[in-house]
């Protein structure tokens, strides 16, 4: 009898351990969930096609580079006085922190789109209109979020040119009148430095005909 009791007790402990480790990959604060998504993802306020949540913000870059990241507040209750703070970002080996202004944040604001661009395939649309589309980095430092809504937080990370290569870590915290939550931020800085000289230029509405004219190309060339 004693052996059976011991066996079931051990089994119970294992089950509890598995349940805890299978918990959702997000930080919870009662009235909201906080999780990371790719900075390439469009986060709609109604949660439309929201990417799967990630446990932490993981980014990398080189010295002298600006990089971005994104996390999301999902309101499971009415939220007031919502603001964001970022801890010191410290080198995991030396404990040296990046400058205070290395990480800045903005709420992502939305604009209402009544109609999609005409003559596009449905599969080419980010989503059907009418809808609120994430569009700009807001200057608001505090806001409210309605129950059921999502609000993206955009992070801009400026890697100093003299930063030591290595792994850095810190936390991004969301503070509200209904509770607080944090998510880890992991940054890897590689031992490379962005040159001062810029060689990349961007042009819109580019055509091969303009390329021919600019470079005075008379002979046929391959598109391959």
Whole-number pLDDT of residue 19: 43
Residue 96's pLDDT is 97
Residue 11 lies in a domain: no
Q: Measuring CA to CA, which residue among 57, 68, 43, 75 is closest to residue 143?
A: 75
Q: Give the model's pLDDT for residue 5.
A: 53
- Is residue 13 assigned to a domain? no
Residue 17 forms part of a structural domain: no
Report pLDDT for 1: 53
Helix (H) or strand (E) holding 219: none
What pLDDT is attached to residue 105? 99
Buried/exposed 207-220: b ≥16 CB within 10 Å, e otherwise: eeeeeeeeeeeeee
Of 109, 114, 126, the closest CA to residue 49 belongs to 126
Could you tell me if residue 8 is inside a domain?
no
Write the CATH number for 84: 2.60.40.10
Residues of the chain with pLDDT under 50: 2, 14, 16-25, 224
- Which residue bears the tokens 């809808």? 131
Distances (CA, A) of 24 to 35, 79, 186: 10, 21, 19
Domain interval for residue 126: 23-215
Q: What is the distance between the alpha carbons of residues 112 and 98, in angstroms, rounded to a whole number? A: 38
List Cα–Cα distances, 185 to 37, 53, 71, 108, 195, in angstroms: 12, 14, 10, 19, 26
Whether 4 is in a domain gets the answer no
Spatial contact of 154 and 106, defined as CB atoms under 8 Å apart: yes
Counted domains in the chain: 1
Instruction: State the pLDDT at residue 16.
Output: 47
- Euclidean distance between the first and final Cα of the chain, in Å? 77
Q: Is 184 domain-assigned?
A: yes
């Amino acid at each position: 009898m004693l052996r059976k009791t011991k066996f079931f007790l051990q089994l119970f402990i294992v089950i509890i351990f598995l349940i805890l480790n299978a918990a959702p990959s997000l930080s919870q604060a009662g009235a909201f969930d906080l999780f990371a998504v790719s900075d390439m993802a469009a986060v709609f306020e109604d949660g439309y096609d929201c990417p799967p949540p990630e446990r932490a913000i993981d980014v990398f870059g080189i010295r002298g580079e600006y990089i971005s990241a994104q996390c999301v507040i999902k309101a499971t209750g009415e939220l007031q006085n919502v603001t964001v703070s970022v801890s010191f970002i410290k080198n995991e080996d030396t404990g040296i922190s990046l400058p205070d202004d290395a990480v800045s944040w903005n709420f992502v604001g939305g604009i209402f789109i009544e109609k999609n661009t005409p003559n596009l395939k449905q599969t080419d649309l980010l989503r059907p209109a009418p809808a609120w589309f994430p569009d700009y980095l807001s200057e608001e430092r505090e806001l409210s979020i309605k129950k059921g809504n999502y609000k993206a937080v955009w992070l801009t990370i400026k890697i100093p040119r003299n930063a030591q290569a290595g792994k850095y870590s810190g936390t991004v915290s969301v503070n509200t009148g209904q509770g607080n939550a944090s998510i880890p931020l992991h940054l890897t800085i590689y031992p490379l430095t962005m040159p001062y000289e810029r060689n990349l230029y961007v042009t819109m509405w580019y055509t091969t005909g303009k390329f021919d004219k600019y470079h005075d190309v008379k002979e046929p060339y391959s598109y391959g």
